[in-house]
Structure 1
Amino acid sequence: MLKKTVAATALLLSLGVAEAATNPLFAPFYTADPAVLVDGGRAYLFTGRDEALPDGKDYVMHEWRVFSTCDMVNWKDEGVPVKAKDFAWANGRAWASDIVKRHGKYWFYATVEHATVPGFAVGVAVSDSPTGPFTDARGSPLVTNDMTKQTDIAWDDIDPAVFVDDDGQAWLYWGNTVLKYAKLKASMTELDGPIQVLPVANFVEAPYLHKRKGTYYLSYSQHWPEETAYMTGPSPTGPWTPQGVIMERNLKTKTIHQAFFEFNGRSYVAYHNAELPGGGEHRRSVAIEEFSYRADGTIPFIHQSKAGPKANPSAGCKH
């Protein structure tokens, strides 16, 4: 029965639509590091693609994929909007990304390995459509490993998260071991001022900033294996109040990478585990949970489920 279910899902994806979505999503692909953009009555979910063999010992990731939905149940495979090698200065490695819409364009911030500067770097690509194609907006990286000296590891400049505040100021957060952030200029392709460091106990990676009813929520992965925790504050720079753990660590992979979003009046978090058949440390799978904020605005502990979110269609939703 399991083989039949996976095969049926694969056929539907090949046709561009997956019916009756359940967690994890997007079989037969292995996907990781979700980023979500809500635009025009659709949610666009960007993922890296894990291509490691079953016995693989490292991440094999060459491209980002995008899937879209207008009801949180039926997903359309929109294909590959950008690949790591679309950044001509990169060796490859399509690690975690994030996306935002501004000035009528779509800005995609991505982790890749630099070809000449040792270590990982952050690039930015741009498109007129959320489904791409995206092109390198700078022709050079926005952040390189030699710009940050807080650690001597090659992967401390990963997991970019972009946020545009109500006043129009854009911010970029990123890091491994050390959480870093900076303002972005209106061009979205330049840092506006120095790189700042935010001391966070037990921080590992995956910073993500979102805002709700005047409160800023800074979530991230902590400890190893990772669990999801968050803090709240009155501004993009804090001061921050720790609020605790909101999602447990995974059983089959040490990583877990979250993205919060609102869609049609409901609240969701995307993340990854490794629960598809054949999944593992380097063969992960994106999933989504619906949740409700408490009356005081805090986020409850969110349990991973196999059911996934219920239908929540936009007006005039067409798959």
Structure 2
Amino acid sequence: MSLAELRRISSDRKRPLSKDEKKAGRRDDKAALFFLLPWLIGVVGLTAGPMLVSLYLAFTDYNLLQAADFTGFDNITRMLDDARLHNSLAVTFTYVAISVPLQLAVALGLALLLDRGMRGLSFYRSALYLPSLLGGSVAIAVLWRVVFGEDGLFNDFLGLFGVVGRSWISDPDTSLWTIVLLHVWTFGSPMVIFLAGLRQIPRQYYEAASTDGASTWRQFRSITLPLLTPMVFFNLVLGIINAFQSFTQAFVVSGGTGGPADSTLFYTLYLYQEGFGSFRMGYASALAWLLLIIIGAFTAINFWASKYWVFYDD
């Protein structure tokens, strides 16, 4: 494109629009708004509206049967003295701190294995991704109760080696670990993301490292891991958010009680018990906003810390 054409285009952009052009622009705006209308209705009616209502209810005493009674900061004060709330926070933080890193480690290990170009890669990739589609379902959670029950399949497996099992989901010392294992088992989504990241690393990096005599571990530590840090960061942020919101597994495995001895009382499960079990909807709304603050704080910390360890290869 010549300099004269560029100047002509620039001058055309600066000239005022004619009436016909303005009218055509308004028609385009109306058409765009028409197609965006279902999304806008959903945002206002299903997201923004309920959030604003719950924010108001967080400062009220509301039981679904009577009008909400504004109580100020009473719900917040109650949180400070709520022992079950503190226990649910401890259980949830433990669950997040253990299950998320373990899931990412398993996903990365399997992605490295699949990246070797084995035969039937498409089949193995689909088969390993399948648990991610089923892991959060009620059916799998029920199956987990059967597998780790006193007469479950896991104890049958241990019996082959002469080991006497127990009801893993009924023991306060092991019940949480069964749910952690269920979360780790749903490694499919981060595995696929890691695999995509591995495919983007240029092979010449590894060839040059091999020529210099670098070992496999050295290549992983100096090439693979630094170039995968954006994928690690992405999976870490989503993994933490999803782990804090885990509900179905704990609800089904514990029968909705959070037992035994509140060892599987996730924060979301306690929120559900307060809102739909005890009908303390005002207090449940306050708990929901506290969860939002916690997740937002962890996400903000992750983004702040990412500038120190996430490497973007330009």
Question: What's the TM-score, normalizing by structure 1?
Answer: 0.20
Q: Which has the higher helix share?
A: 2
Q: If you compute each CA radius of gyration, which structure gives the higher value, 1 or 2? A: 2
* Larger relative contact order (CA 8 Å, sep ≥ 6): 2
Bigger share in strand: 1
State TM-score, norm by structure 2.
0.20
